[in-house]
Amino acid sequence: MSDSLDALDARLLLLLTDSPRLGVLECARRLGVARGTVQARLDRLTERGILGGFPPELDLAAMGYGLTAFAVLEIAQGRRSEVAEALSAIDEVCEVHATTGQGDLFVRMVARNNDDLQRVVDEVVGAPYVRRTSTSIALSTPVPPRVRPLLERLARS
């Protein structure tokens, strides 16, 4: 089994990206392939971990979390799992990435306003084994998280 996606996989993922509530039969109709082909592709994409589900796209600002910030954390050596566990208990922490370079962890968090951000940062700093943080507030998001260009390139191949 190849590790790369083919054009049909990419077209299927693009279709589901645009219309995540489509059923297998409608996907098959729009792609011009058999229902069994679509189901087999979805099963394979899920099994390989490429397709993890169909969560709704949520606008955090519309939900009252209009402020996004990023923090670089320096942590005690060998304590990544403990810090990650503590950070996952903070509701406003949306993502945590282990990184190379100056810091050890890169954290994306949201808050309702500056005062709320201070509270969230205090919780992050209070996590066990966090030694130092450097926080930056996002002013805008000129390029939001995306995979579409990669899928479009594959769909053309």
Angle between helices 148-156 and 7-18 (to 10 degrees): 140
Cα–Cα dist 70/108, whole Å: 5
At the second CATH level, the architecture of 61-138 is: 2-Layer Sandwich (3.30)
Q: How confident is the model at residue 3 (pLDDT cuts 50, 70, 90)?
A: low
Q: How far is CA 157 from the centre of its chain?
A: 26
Q: How confident is the model at residue 157 (pLDDT cuts 50, 70, 90)?
A: confident
Range(s) within the chain of domains with CATH label 3.30.70.920 = 61-138
Pick the CATH number of 7-56 from 1.20.120.10, 1.10.10.10, 3.90.650.10, 1.10.760.10: 1.10.10.10
**pLDDT for position 53:** 80
Query: What is the mean pLDDT of the segment spanning 30-44?
Result: 96
Backbone torsion region of residue 117, taken as left when φ is above 0, otherwise alpha when ψ lies between -120 and 50, otherwise beta: alpha
pTM, two decimals, is 0.81
Range(s) within the chain of domains with CATH label 1.10.10.10 = 7-56
Q: What would the pLDDT profile of 97-126 be if each residue is shown by its tens digit?
A: 999 988 999 999 999 999 999 999 999 999
